[in-house]
Amino acid sequence: MSSTEWPLVVFTILVQMSVGLLIVSELACVVGGTAAHSLLKYRESCSLALGLVGLAFSFAHLGTPAHSPFAIFNLGHSWLSREIFCTSAFLGCLVALTIARRMPAFAAFAPLVAVVAGVAGVASVFAMSKVYMLVTVPAWNSPATVLNFAGAALLLGALAAGLLACLRWSAMSGEAARVPVVRTMGVLLIFAALGLVAKFIEIPLSLFAGLPTNARGVSATTIVLTNGLGAYVLQVVLLIVGTALFVHVANAATRGNRSLLPVLGACALLIALAGEVLGRLAFFDMHVLIGL
């Protein structure tokens, strides 16, 4: 893979994880109530940090970063412009949400801002998918791309929220440490499972979409399976292992066992993240033009 694509790998994964973290944790708070709000207290701040780091990496891919604001003026015809607009709106909402939850004077607006941020996040991930769904790149021009990005958002977002909950819970002491975690972990497990299922559907679907060959008889599927079959299989293994470890973390949490939870939660996220990076590298390797 060309080194010029690494900024896009980091940008897409971090922004998707940021969106997933916000949406999953907000829904967990709706179900889990006060306990979930306490466990996921810094969810919007962490989501904002992930999104800003991802955005910073995206500028490394631009030939002239100073011209990037002008791309927003083509919203009517360009999915790239829509991606920039939606991602910017999402991050702007996260800034507003962080302020609203830290300043009592604006606390009443927090629920509405959270909903708007969630909608903007979903729109950002969808627009990001459409940017790559090019007719001339069959491996990308399929529902697999949407499943790829949405699955990453749900799986990594759920595991990131789980790590936040583990870190917060491990720092509590006394009566505060008795906070119920079953509902919170249950919601996170559901979304992690949904993300993993999306990835399982996406992987074979993308291979099937990449079967058409170009004028030189080369297909995207052939490139991936010939040059990186080991890495392609490893990504699946890492996604499964990361999710399985998170299931163990959630199970231990529901039994009240806080021992090593932050360490295990971090390992679960990092393992799944490594699998997602390998998968995203394979995704960009499947850029084989057809019909030109």
Tell me, what's the pLDDT at 288? Answer: 83
Q: How far apart are the first and last CA of the chain?
A: 21
Q: Has residue 111 been placed in a domain?
A: yes
Q: Which domain holds residue 143?
A: 3-285
Q: Has residue 290 been placed in a domain?
A: no
194 pLDDT exceeds 60? yes
Is the separation of the CB atoms in 280 and 12 below 8 Å?
A: yes
Is the separation of the CB atoms in 278 and 231 below 8 Å?
A: yes
Residue-wise pLDDT for 127-170, tens only, equals: 999 999 999 999 999 999 999 999 999 999 999 999 999 999 88
What is the average pLDDT value for the chain, to the nearest integer?
90
Q: Has residue 292 been placed in a domain?
A: no
Tell me, what's the pLDDT at 67? Answer: 46
73 pLDDT exceeds 70? no
- Does the global pTM surpass 0.95? no
Beta bridge mates, 213:
219
Tell me, what's the pLDDT at 256? Answer: 81
| 178: enclosing H helix or E strand | none
3-state SS assignment for residue 172: coil
Which of these, 251, 11, 264, 45, lies nearest to 152 by C-alpha position?
A: 11
CATH of the domain at 200: 1.20.1630.10
3-state SS assignment for residue 75: coil
Number of domains in the chain: 1
Q: Has residue 291 been placed in a domain?
A: no
Q: Which two structure tokens, joined as six digits, stand for 283?
A: 């995704």
